[in-house]
Structure 1
Amino acid sequence: MSRGRSGNSDAMAPEDINEHHQVLGRQVWRVVPYAKRYPRRLLAGFLGNACARIVDLVPFVAIGWAVDYFTSKTGGGVGIMVGPDFIQDAVTAIHSDPAVGYGVMIFLGFAMLAVFQGISEYSWQTLGYKIQHDLRMDATRSLVAMEASYYDMRQTGQIMSVLSSDVNQLEDVVSDSSTSIIRIVFTFLTAFVILVSMSWKLAAVLFGPIIFIIPCVYWFSTRVQRKYRKQRESTGDIHAVLENLISGISVVQAYNAQTWEADRVSRESGSYRDQAMGASRDRNRFLPMIYVIAGVAFGLLVTAGGWLASEGEISTGQLVTFLLISTRMTMPMFIFGILINQLQRGEAAARRVFAAIDLEPTITDEEDAVDLDTGITSVEFRDVHFTYPNTTIKVL
């Protein structure tokens, strides 16, 4: 037997989403338990990406050491090797000529980068596909468990949009945004350790202005998330209108309603266009802020670095390493702007996907209900009755 349960709100309804307290990544973090189902891929992707980011900076350090070696050569052609003793031993072990050793070290850095990056990309992409499948199946199971009346007030296109485009958006978050987060964190941490060990003053000049990115991120995330959510809803509305139009095209043509249906599509598509343009406007205000901050940091680095080099506080090779690593950090800073944008899109999609997963039917089985092991051969009603509205007379 089954019974009705009242008071269950529709988790997929837009009004259930708080418009005033937008928290970056609050819903998208619910993807993490799905990733934990595949610990080997998760660990391989994490370690591969982390190691790739570390070895990515090795060639720049080696170039700095090589510059110091060449610029310190005396009249006899013998240069002074710099760096930790074990590095000097490794360079001379490769070849008696340090110039060759430094060249091989640079090559090995790029070779290791290729290997670790390949491991990372494969692990995160396949993990994303697996999570995509699991999310779609969990949402599907929740939807098929709902009573038929649930679908009476909902358009098929909206539901299809959640199961297709929204789930696909979360796959992008796993395979792309996750690698971007690791890349940014380990690139900055590795660069910070390397540069501070060379000159804490110059490191402060480079990393100091980056702090101002934080208020920029807050401004962007609080403005654009709501627009991305409405954009995802508009996508579902377009799917719904097109699904109704295509499935009922014979009726549309019979009643000469082509113009009316085209206007419906135009309204929904226009709503999507307006939301997308609004989000794009905010995004293109945010990204230039990142470039301005990066420009200030790198400009100060060149000025301060030249002054410190002239004062003898850092060597020419160290200044070269600073400049090379600073240019390498341009890409993570650019990726950071894209990452925030991706997470906002993912947050909007996650709200809709997990709203579907969290659905609970209003009609549930009794605790002592008996499972049907075979097909139904007969139906028997006991103590079943109903009344018409505004009456107390039992009709049946």
Structure 2
Amino acid sequence: MFLHTALPTASVSVSPDGLLYSGETVTLQCDISDYTDWTYYWFLNNIQITSQTRETITIILPSQAGQYQCQGKRTGKIVDVTVFCLINMYVSTDLPTASVRVSPHGLLYSGETVTLQCDISDYTDWTYRWYQNNQTLPNQTSKTIRYIIPIIKTGQTGLYRCEGMRTERPQRSQPSNDLSITLPKATLLVKPNPVYPGETVTLTCSVGSYSDWRYKRHKDRNDTVVSQSGSSNPGASYTINTISVSDQGQYWCEGHRVSRPTSSQPSTDITLTVLGQFFCSMSLFVCQSCRQGLCNKPKVTLSSDQKDVLTADSVTLTCTVESSGWRFYWYRHRQDSEPVAKTSGSSYTFSQVSVSDGGQYRCRAGRGDPVYYTQYSEPVHIQVTGESNTFNKIA
């Protein structure tokens, strides 16, 4: 005679119950009504979780969501008993998502006070957290925060986001997307740069929007104001005449207005470089030349592409100078005469030369208004013949 007894049944309980949210920690418990000496086995999507052999396990949503199976085994005196339970674990509801809005709308400017508001559509009992550039803003737990836009040289005051926390489930929201507050920025243009002592330099400051800006121009990190346009002179440009070594340094500018926006973000620093910094030697002649500005002027080098010149040949002279933005002046025979040609490029070409084109040539370069000239080049002598050609450089 045989006695048949039904196997114990297994069930899985979930805590917390009800809606489950992303980011929550969930506890699963395998309940078997009869006996106490069970060994437990857990499976996720039909694959055994070898590290879990207890009655309860803890999972984090949504990364560990899936189909869970609980199995209990015990060894009796007569037979082995195995029971199963299957449960699907998934995230039933996404967390509420926060969003940030800013007031006033439109372009924002340094020195203004703005309001940031954190909006979360569901529930009302939130405590708020605010972040600036991924750093928590201390003592900011309200739905709205106010702050004054700082004056910085990057043009961007930061990335802002918020999230909500509460004691009841769901205990947190999804954080908002980053809100970037970017401000209009001044732009500084320095021409020419680099320069030589004695040159004229123009600093031009501009802000992309509006037209009635007044400008301040600063030098170096001590914020020294080198120029400031007033109501009678609102222009964007400032000229430094007769540059000297002491004018070398970092320059930046900013714009100001009477009405909103009242100011711009400062421009990026630009380094003005003064070349040719010579000092007087013990020689009286050299000292006198330096005082006249001769030893500060840049040198130019004149060269020719032809060593042997026949009549009807083509000859190109090239005048080389450091830096850019120059016009070139070409002289024949005497350097104090009127130039025979002026070019925007550094080359001057004779086409189909004749014997009368022969002679001694020099060049120099100039730029700016008034024109700042380089030194004259050393002369180059061109001799044109019909039978044999010679090209000699006169030192």
TM-score range relative to shorter protein: under 0.3
- After TM superposition, the score normalised by the length of structure 2 is 0.18
Which is greater in Rg? 2
TM-score calculated relative to the size of structure 1: 0.18
* Larger strand proportion of the pair: 2
Q: Select the structure that is richer in helix.
A: 1
| Higher relative contact order structure (alpha carbons within 8 Å, sequence separation ≥ 6) | 1
